[in-house]
A and B are shown apart, each in its own frame.
Chain A
Amino acid sequence: MVYNYYPGCTLSTKAKKLDIYARAAAKALGFELAELKEWQCCGAVYPLAQDAIGERLAAARSLAAAEDGKLVTLCSACHHVLKRVNADMAANGEICAKVNAYLGEEETYHGQTEVWHYLEILKREIGFDEIARRVKNPLTGRKIGAYYGCLLLRPAGVMQFDDAENPGILEDFIAALGATPIIYDYRNECCGGYLTLTDKQATGEMVGRVIASARQKGVAELITACPLCSYNLEVNALGTEMPVHYFTELLAEALGLKEEETACR
């Protein structure tokens, strides 16, 4: 199976690990991520203003470029923006018409593409049971906390990713790799996001609470799908720290691909 793949900017700079292990694991699990030929920045922040058309153009262009069916994303922020802009294109006639007027393509785009997160492919197309069978190095005994953040889950009605208040997909993923998922209260709280640019203190307190909550429950390492969450957790946490990995890194490790890291690169 070959899926259209939208890596996003950060994955070729700061978050290379998120990308290379995802591609390697995909290969091992029997599917391929075919990078869109002409993708561009998703816009990074979903525009809340209804009349912000220019801010939706980049995302819409990438969505329209995925010709047949699914577009797979990996970065939480890209997934969030693409999924929400796609929902606008499908359900909001005014936005759809204006965006298409700017795009100037022959065919109009009205949200035909399905935006899937890599995790959703693992769960719904491959199956966590199948992944568990493919695991070569089970991560037995490792106490791992899933950090969802907010972008993947909310707004729940549009994202349709998981129960926004009590999600389970990452925990099921952790269990499939043979590790012990640990549920803690702050796993779906905000990391502070771009607030890090203007108020490091506030972000620090926010991720500090996340790490403290995880530690209290016995979490030894955190996994995330978001480069910005990962950055805030690693760099900004005040007076505390905890190892943070991308979920794909763990997947590659369990599938026995991590030793081939150089080859992956």
Chain B
Amino acid sequence: MRKHIAATVDVARVAESVRSIPDVAFATDYRYMCSEGGQTLLRQAVKEHGLSRIVVCACSPRMHEATFRKAAKAAGLNPYLVEIANIREHCSWVHKDKEVGTAKAIALAKAAIAKVRLNTPLTAGESPVVKRALVIGGGIAGLQTALDIAEAGYKVDIIEKSPSIGGKMAQLDKTFPTLDCSACILTPKMVDAAAHENITIHTYSELEKVSGYVGQFEAVIRKKARSVAVDRCSGCGLCMEKCPSKKAASEFDEGLRTRSAIYIPFAQAIPNVPVIDREQCLKFQADKCGLCAKICPAGAIEYGQEDELITNKYGAIVLATGFTTIDPVRFGEFGYLHHKDVITSLEFERLTNAAGPTQGKLVKLSDGKKPKSIVFVSCVGSRDTTERGKSYCSKICCMYTAKHALLVKEKYPDIAVKVFYIDVRTPGKGFDEFQRRAVEEYGVEYIKGMVGKVTEEGGGLAVHASDVAAGTKIVAEADLVVLATAVTPSSDARKLASMLSASIDTDDFYTEAHPKLRPVESPTAGIFLSGVCQGPKDIPETVAQAGAAAVKAIGLLSKDKLLTNPCVAHVNETTCSGCLACEKVCPYGAITADYKQVNSKGLKERRLIAHVNEALCQGCGACSVACPSGAMDLRGFSNKQIMAEVDALC
């Protein structure tokens, strides 16, 4: 349990025991040091006792370093003359015995005092902010963030890897709990984004490389060859009609129908310009055909097009890479691979969508007939602690399953609908009422229990499951089985995280700078998080978070200059041997080397010397550890300061 510091540390005794240390002019304890009262106390003490250094024994510097630096500055001290001894996370929270805790707090305080003696005043530099944002992902999260930033008057580029913006929301039929048509509320936003003077959209594009830092990112974007000239194509669709290669599985329709090799993913796609899938195209695979080029009235087909690399500078980057769903093949018991009538919820969305492969007619994929009974299985891969699944709750499945069940019953009251569940989780405005309507008004049968196996019996399917309430094993007949597969982050999330040095968790969701207080920022400055890439969430939550990420990005872009962290590495040129061990370990590419004239033991010589680009250096200290001669040192955390701390502790 997380307790108050004073519960396991005798703070008065800590103050008492450091008071007699040489150079300590004043020591006291105060219950709420970070409050206005505590800060006033600090300012007064500086004035009254003429203090030149401050040590605060309190919470982690991650929590309050900025607070106390500001207080020191207000008292006329250089903010880097403040040290924090972390006696909360590192001490009171991990000890139960007050004696032990107090002794450790005293030791930590002594170490901080030893370090602060060697602190030197540091001045933060300045770096300019490029007034342009990059949004990665063109789904509802990315679009909302881009629109909000653009509305505030800043330029935004969106990059989207698929041929059209729109993302997963474009594939959905209705949205819960209001049952709005998903496309009807999404497409106007897509159009707004495309038409906005401040927004540039790069579809069929991916991030190739990123360098730089907050305010000054430089991104290389790979615009994949579309093989169609966007400026000439009128979107007439003749090429798609005539294309003889029509066997590719449509990504937009979840493989429920095929598409041509030259294709526009869906009717409302933006841009309304086709792309040639070169893997499927006869021209590219066998140098045959070429029909689309012959018939295109605008002469827009360009087989010779190559990928294009664009380099741009950005002040802020927003990750909005969205999600995918877990592969149901991993869960062999449901027989997804072997039974055509076992489908995923996303496939069900396409199957009930008026613009989908069956024009919204609900049929079995095996024989095209209307099902008489449907079984929905929730938590397929969610809340699954085995290595096959994900331990988290995917959050949206209970509601979309209730939506599916209710919509089936509304349109086809004669179809029997059952839902197998572990728990029904419906927190949200109007959510629980919605799920209850499905049960009470529409007669959807909810059964608490897990499904163990789906088999083929006679002409249909049999769902073997447990009924926990009755304590029995049951077999439910079903013509169609719908699996609510777990939400998982986009497959490129990890690659992008390493490209941007953004933190990521073991499930590949991006990590926030603080789970409660900074939920839309990545710990890496200038990188913001929008939508499901940070964790499972529904559409309204995604839109809210997208707006919050936009506000944070706007806050950054509105500044002309940013203060840089002065705690960066620097080289002692006389002792640097030019081995460049530092360059190898630097994760930020901040170290380069040049031949320089140096004075070494009275001799002038020209040799290789490491050089730190202070704008790129993040102050991690890896180089100062790697340096064999101690020439590399970190300001604010110098080798001498660290050794002084160690000496004080041992």
Contacts and interface: CB of A to CB of B under 8 A. Distances in A.
Interface string A161-178: 001111100000000000
Contacts of B331: 165
A189 B335 CA distance: 13
Contact of B332 (A163, A189, A213): A163
A187 B156 CA distance: 56
B648 to A, nearest CB: 42
A174 B473 CA distance: 34
Contacts of B559: none
A1 B456 CA distance: 44
Interface in B409-460: 453-456
Contact of A216 (B332, B338, B456): B456
Contacts of B453: 185, 189
Interface in A222-244: none
Contacts of A186: 455
A213 B337 CA distance: 17
Q: Taking chain A's interface residues, is the majority helix, strand, or loop, or is none over half, making it mixed? A: loop
B332 A183 contact: no
Given A213-B455, A213-B456, A216-B456, A185 B335 contact: yes
B238 interface: no
A185 B455 contact: yes
Contacts of A165: 331-333
Given A183-B338, A185-B335, A166 B329 contact: yes
Contacts of A213: 455-456
Nearest to B335: A185
Contacts of B454: 185
Contacts of B335: 185
A164 B386 CA distance: 13
B332 A164 contact: yes
A166 B456 contact: no
A139 to B, nearest CB: 23
Interface in B300-345: 329, 331-333, 335, 337-338
A152 to B, nearest CB: 15
Contacts of A166: 329, 332, 337
Contacts of A183: 338
Contacts of B338: 183, 185
A47 B338 CA distance: 35
B385 to A, nearest CB: 12
Nearest to A188: B332
A185 B460 CA distance: 13
Nearest to B454: A185
Contacts of A217: 456
A215 to B, nearest CB: 12
A32 B70 CA distance: 79
Residue of A166, A167, A189, A213 contacting most chain B CB atoms (<10 Å): A166
A185 B455 CA distance: 6
Contacts of A164: 332
A185 B463 CA distance: 12
B329 to A, nearest CB: 7
A119 B335 CA distance: 24
A57 B448 CA distance: 43
A252 to B, nearest CB: 30
A192 B333 CA distance: 19
Contacts of B456: 185, 213, 216-217
Contacts of B337: 166
Contacts of A185: 335, 338, 453-456
A186 B457 CA distance: 11
Interface in B558-595: none
A167 B337 CA distance: 12
Nearest to A217: B456
Interface string A205-221: 00000000100110000
A213 B333 CA distance: 15
Contacts of A163: 332
A3 to B, nearest CB: 30
Contacts of A216: 456
Contacts of A189: 453
A112 to B, nearest CB: 25
Nearest to A213: B455
Interface in A143-167: 163-167
A167 B455 CA distance: 15
Contacts of B333: 165
Nearest to A185: B455
A163 B335 CA distance: 13
Nearest to A168: B332
A98 B562 CA distance: 67
A25 B342 CA distance: 40
A166 B331 CA distance: 8
B331 to A, nearest CB: 7
Interface string B272-307: 000000000000000000000000000000000000
Nearest to A165: B332
Contacts of B332: 163-167
A224 to B, nearest CB: 19
Nearest to A183: B338
Nearest to B336: A166
B326 to A, nearest CB: 14
Interface string B131-164: 0000000000000000000000000000000000
B79 to A, nearest CB: 54
B336 to A, nearest CB: 9
A185 B339 CA distance: 10
Contacts of A167: 332
A213 B332 CA distance: 17
B335 to A, nearest CB: 7
B353 to A, nearest CB: 29
Nearest to B331: A165
Most A Cβ at <10 Å: residue of B332, B337, B454: B332
Nearest to A189: B453
A155 to B, nearest CB: 11
A177 to B, nearest CB: 22
Nearest to A164: B332
A216 B329 CA distance: 23
A186 B65 CA distance: 63
Which of A185, A189, A217 has most chain B Cβ within 10 Å? A185
A14 B455 CA distance: 32
Contacts of B329: 166
Nearest to A167: B332
A189 B462 CA distance: 15
A216 B460 CA distance: 12
A213 B453 CA distance: 14
A189 B464 CA distance: 12
A186 B453 CA distance: 10
Interface string A184-196: 0110010000000
B400 to A, nearest CB: 25
A213 B456 CA distance: 8
Contacts of B455: 185-186, 213
A38 to B, nearest CB: 38
A189 B333 CA distance: 11
A185 B337 CA distance: 11
Nearest to B456: A185
A28 to B, nearest CB: 33
Nearest to A209: B455
A185 B454 CA distance: 8
B318 to A, nearest CB: 39
A68 to B, nearest CB: 31
21 contacts: A163-B332, A164-B332, A165-B331, A165-B332, A165-B333, A166-B329, A166-B332, A166-B337, A167-B332, A183-B338, A185-B335, A185-B338, A185-B453, A185-B454, A185-B455, A186-B455, A189-B453, A213-B455, A213-B456, A216-B456, A217-B456
Given A165-B333, A185-B454, A213-B456, 7 more contacts: A164-B332, A165-B332, A166-B329, A185-B455, A189-B453, A213-B455, A216-B456
Interface of A: 163-167, 183, 185-186, 189, 213, 216-217
Counting from the closest, the 7 A-B pairs by CB-CB distance are A165-B332, A166-B332, A185-B455, A165-B333, A163-B332, A183-B338, A185-B456
